[in-house]
Structure 1
């Protein structure tokens, strides 16, 4: 509720004005049955034409007034609710963007999509209804009861008895529906998850001929959503028949009692009876609206709780998105001291007692078997995750001491899984530095050895790239991604096995170009041709550092490294290297 009020407070003036207009509309609606009774009693029955014109004209004039203020109230209600939804959706998206990787992993992507879309829409609709009918409906019931009692207590008493019964029923319905609608939203998450995974892997699904299997999975989740929604809506729609049954029963009893009063000559007029029945009908309509409001509030309440979960769970890193007045420059000296890390909700250590040092401006290759922790190690440097134990320093300062935005602006990162966006080639490269000029984009592309390939495309740098770069080869996508990292001229360059699709000659030219840059390079690779070019090599196995040193040092002191060399170069080349090394050692 606090989050709800905080976002709506910005539009307090519009909300109050819309509610004020609604109250005028309500006053007219409450007064109309009374005016009708005057038309009947003082005009039609008494035969006074002037009274008919006076009260009838007043009735017509107030109806036109209510029509005008109703339109204005709807406009301001829509303005406030739409802007409320815009702000809430924007803040929710911003919170998701600022989540640490740990926190982001607590939510399914499909669930976040549902929350930022469907859930915000539910709350937004509730805000609009709140200004238009959520306050109006109960006030209409209360005012209509008061006016009915003022006209005739005996007849209105039936409505007074029915009202608390309906209030208790609708209160129970709202609490019950809140839980049910929350489950429906959770089931919608599951449907979106299956749909998202299937659409993202549509080519793979078709290649393996798994369309029927995926369709069956979606149908299963869709059936569960339908069953849950139907069960919820059956209970939700039960409110209207109950309200109509009870109020219409009251009207019948009132008419029966009115007949007895008229027959007994009691002081009750036909106009009063018509007015009270009219008030009863308005109460019926208002209670039907309240029943609808109960369902809307229950759904919106469940949605707001899900939105609040994101705000409460998001441990937004204390960082300011604004560029600082003085840009931070990092030299790139990196040191790990006794670093340990375990992924959230995992019982196995990913990294244990990792210690190494990389001098600024040097290149270090990281080697190890699949699952040894190479990618996890890289992600600790830009603080995608925070180390559980140990210290990571950059330029002899703990990474936690740097403002997160400044730290990451000095790092170029190319992940193992290449992600390109729909847009031009230039836009994808410029994504690494939004203010980059075209000359800077071309320079980065040349360093990444992709410039010539781009120029061969139909529109060169303005060629549109499909979703995930479907119209580029694997090697081209890798090089565009590398150019995206290089365009920001980073002090630290992290390359996570992102040259696997490059041929030997292209990779050689790429490494030559990177070697000319004034930056520290950490390169995860499985290629010996790449590893031997590094100033130092870090050998990792099962989350622990086996050895750090040059190629020559590891060939002598690390048996695991020799096995890797042998698997790629063969025994003859290894024996030749050992023979050459021995001659160097024995030479005078």
Structure 2
């Protein structure tokens, strides 16, 4: 950029020489020689300008890539508690719009923040070497225009900052509409969703429009300053030429001064745009920095344990709250579960069943007490080791775009075809996979939209089984499966993975009635923990749910909540 500026500043000076020593004097040799120098300067300026633009583009796009990569990698390390701080739409906005704003500002900084000051300083110096009195006009114009542009910049950037915050609402509206498009169409809510999106986009439009209306004053102010300087310089310069007889100030000098006038004032305008871009991107930079600086609250301690002995689980006076000083989701949980046992977990909605099992793979850390797996506090394990030993089939099943085999290999990337088929048999997924024309190469759409809820659940169970875990957690993961298939899956577990500790969270009594023990949760506390037979005799909640479901009413929340 500096090389380009130097070449641009040399050309007006050479032009003055051509006019004074060549055109006015009628000397063609001077015109040819100085013209050749101007051509060389122009070519050098073009080449270094191209190199500057190329290197600047590489740097800016590489910087944006590094920001996105850094954010994505850091997000992968987040615990659930970290993820809860950000909305999905907010993270998407940070990785797209915010990074783009930073990239544009960075590229402008590389080009304009060096070019504009250098151009203005060199042009001022060259102007003062020609005529200091006339050059002082530029200083006055620079000060006045600088104050006006600073006023514009401050007021415009306030609106830009507000607009970028509104992008989160805009992206959230789009995300919700696309992900829930089937529900939207089923309830004929297209107009409602359209109105919601219109309001979000209108908020962004209004803020950006106000900012752009303020920035629009840049052009007329710049034009006013340029033409005012041209008029003043032309008037004063012409008087100097006439009064001095073109001795102290020549026509070529006047042409150079006018060229430098444009360079100085355009440089000032470029600087104003640089400051606007910096201020615009400052809000984006803060949002990106929040994600980059966020550190997972779940980290490995010193010398972490790298082997899980077995699937024995122990809860020691465990209490848990999602937020610090917030309401406790679990309180005073004490359990001692032997390796290989099957434990059923039942309770009404909001009784913290999922919260309980999420403490095992350390998706969250306990607030009080401790959770042990294999006789060791989970906080002492290497996180990767622990989570490879605990397989979870979450309440909300997720499949990814790709073939069935590719989805199943999420559980074990090195699984053989035979191992995949065996896991599918245990999860009773082979029954429907074999009916597909492409069998295990059948393509699954994003989110598993081309398979039924029950099929999706069985594929997720098979995926978990491929991990060959010490602990298997089924979080209401057979709710879409018929009772007969549910029984087959449980029977398969008892036969095929007898050494694995299994947690079955369920609403149906039939899903847990053959478990070794059943845990009954009520508002985050243990209401009962015993064999199904004993609970049927001693626990009022279990009794009522059992009686209602065996009589045909299967709604746990409605009936069990009254007990």
Matched, 1:144 2:140: no
Question: TM-score w.r.t. structure 2 length?
Answer: 0.93
Cα displacement (A) at 1:407:
1.1
Counterpart secondary structure, 2:328: coil
Change (3 A) 1:369 1:80: same
Matched, 1:332 2:311: yes
Cα displacement (A) at 1:470:
1.1
2:254 aligns with: 273
Once the two structures are superposed, the pairs formed by residues 139-538 of structure 1 within 5 Å of their partners are 139-265=118-244, 267-315=248-296, 317-318=298-299, 328-344=307-323, 347-515=326-494, 516-517=496-497, 518-538=499-519
Cα displacement (A) at 1:540:
0.5
Q: Could you tell me how far apart the structure 2 residues matched to 1:353 and 1:30 are?
A: 78
Counterpart secondary structure, 2:412: coil
Counterpart secondary structure, 1:490: coil
Cα displacement (A) at 1:244:
2.8
Q: Structure 2: 5+ residue runs without aligned partners?
A: 553-563
1:92 aligns with: 71
2:528 aligns with: 547
Q: Could you tell me how far apart the structure 2 residues matched to 1:378 and 1:468 are?
A: 24
2:561 aligns with: none
Paired positions, count: 547
Q: Structure 1: 5+ residue runs without aligned partners?
A: 1-21, 572-588
Q: Could you tell me how far apart the structure 2 residues matched to 1:228 and 1:43 are?
A: 56
2:29 aligns with: 50
Change (3 A) 1:28 1:413: same
2:560 aligns with: none
2:12 aligns with: 33
**Does the Cα contact within 8 Å between 1:240 and 1:291 map onto a contact in 2?**
no
1:119 aligns with: 98
Cα displacement (A) at 1:347:
4.3
Matched, 1:563 2:544: yes
2:558 aligns with: none
Cα displacement (A) at 1:499:
0.5
Deviations 1:239-259 (A, max 9, x none): 333233223212211111112
Cα displacement (A) at 1:325:
12
Q: Could you tell me how far apart the structure 2 residues matched to 1:569 and 1:124 are?
A: 63
Cα displacement (A) at 1:153:
0.7
Counterpart secondary structure, 1:350: strand
Change (3 A) 1:554 1:461: same
Aligned-residue CA RMSD in angstroms? Answer: 2.0
Deviations 1:366-396 (A, max 9, x none): 0111111101111111122211112111122
Q: Could you tell me how far apart the structure 1 residues matched to 2:230 and 2:27 are?
A: 29
Cα displacement (A) at 1:319:
5.0
Change (3 A) 1:535 1:306: same
Question: Of 62, 72, 86, which aligns to 1:107?
Answer: 86
Cα displacement (A) at 1:77:
1.8
Q: Could you tell me how far apart the structure 1 residues matched to 2:258 and 2:21 are?
A: 18
Cα displacement (A) at 1:326:
9.7
Q: Could you tell me how far apart the structure 2 residues matched to 1:166 and 1:257 are?
A: 21
Change (3 A) 1:331 1:527: same
